[in-house]
Structure 1
Amino acid sequence: MVLGNGVAGTVIGDRIGPFAERTAVTEATWPLKPAWSVRSRSVRQALRRRRTQLKAIKNWGRSTPDDLSKITHPTLIANGDNDRMVPSVLSEDLHRRIKDSELIIYPDSGHGGIFQYYEEFAPVAVEFLAR
């Protein structure tokens, strides 16, 4: 989790969008929702998002890193030490590349470290955002 400039978001890689939602038509919904154009558009959008995710995952680590020294706002970086999606080494790299950033690594936690340690994280985040 990265907090900065009033925005909270998870850093995973190259602008990965939301996971594709499941779209299913069952016999029960068929007579009730015959708008195939809307449903087809939803499926096309889901497939486009999935392709974007796969492209970002494939290219991750191969591209030139962004110049994070341009970030001038205070930044709080929080992660778990056993995060499989965003290894803590990447959080440490962010911390090194963002001037005056703060880093918190929660022990024995994964990708949801801020939720596993919410009692510790919440006051830190509130204090950080109040500055």
Structure 2
Amino acid sequence: MAVRRRHGCRRPPGPRHRARRRSRGPGRRGSSRPSSLASREAQYDAVLEWGIPDHSALQRLTGIQCPTLIIQGDDDLMIPTKNSYLMAGLIPDARIRIYPDAAHASLFQYPAEAAKDVNAFLG
């Protein structure tokens, strides 16, 4: 919840507001409520479908007409590195940069190198 300020600007609630919301107790607005059965089933379905390749989406990658830079860490547990190589092979004029010993947040693990690679790509 955000608090409305003058001229329609919004700012996040302050610490006193958050403390008030926590003190309301169970069953009231702001408390932790269990999710509905429908939302739990949708989340379960999404997790099950996560690793299933979508061949039509892969084919659409060949239609990208812009130069593309793919950056990833070689220790990314969310997106396997082989998928980045697959994307780079399907996208015309794609370049790929894999950072060693970096996870999903490789841009934060190699900020100077990532900035240099992006600037070189854009330059």
Q: Calculate the TM-score normalised by the size of structure 2.
A: 0.62
Higher relative contact order (CA 8 A, sep 6+): 1
User: Equivalences for 1:1-131 in 2 at 5 Å?
Assistant: 26=22, 28-30=23-25, 35=29, 48=39, 54-59=44-49, 60-66=51-57, 67=59, 68-128=61-121, 130-131=122-123
Cα separation, 2, equivalents of 1:99 and 1:52:
35
Q: Hey, which of these two has a bigger chunk of helix by percent?
A: 2
Change (3 A) 1:99 1:112: same
Change (3 A) 1:29 1:116: same
User: In the alignment, residue 64 of structure 1 is paired with which amino acid?
Assistant: H
- CA positional deviation for 1:51: 5.4
Cα separation, 2, equivalents of 1:54 and 1:97:
30
Q: Runs of 4 or more off by more than 6 Å in structure 1?
A: none
Unmatched 5+ stretches in structure 2: 1-20
Question: What SS is found at the alignment partner of 2:62?
Answer: helix
Change (3 A) 1:56 1:100: farther
Aligned residue in 1 for 2:5: none
- CA positional deviation for 1:97: 0.7
Q: Calculate the TM-score normalised by the size of structure 1.
A: 0.58
The structure with the largest alpha-carbon Rg is 2
- CA positional deviation for 1:114: 1.6
Deviation track 1:5-44 (CA, whole Å, cap 9, x = no partner) reads xxxxxxxxxxxxxxxxxxxx74x135xxx558xx98xx66
Cα separation, 2, equivalents of 1:125 and 1:79:
12
* TM-align CA RMSD: 3.3
- CA positional deviation for 1:62: 4.4
Unmatched 5+ stretches in structure 1: 1-24
- CA positional deviation for 1:123: 2.1
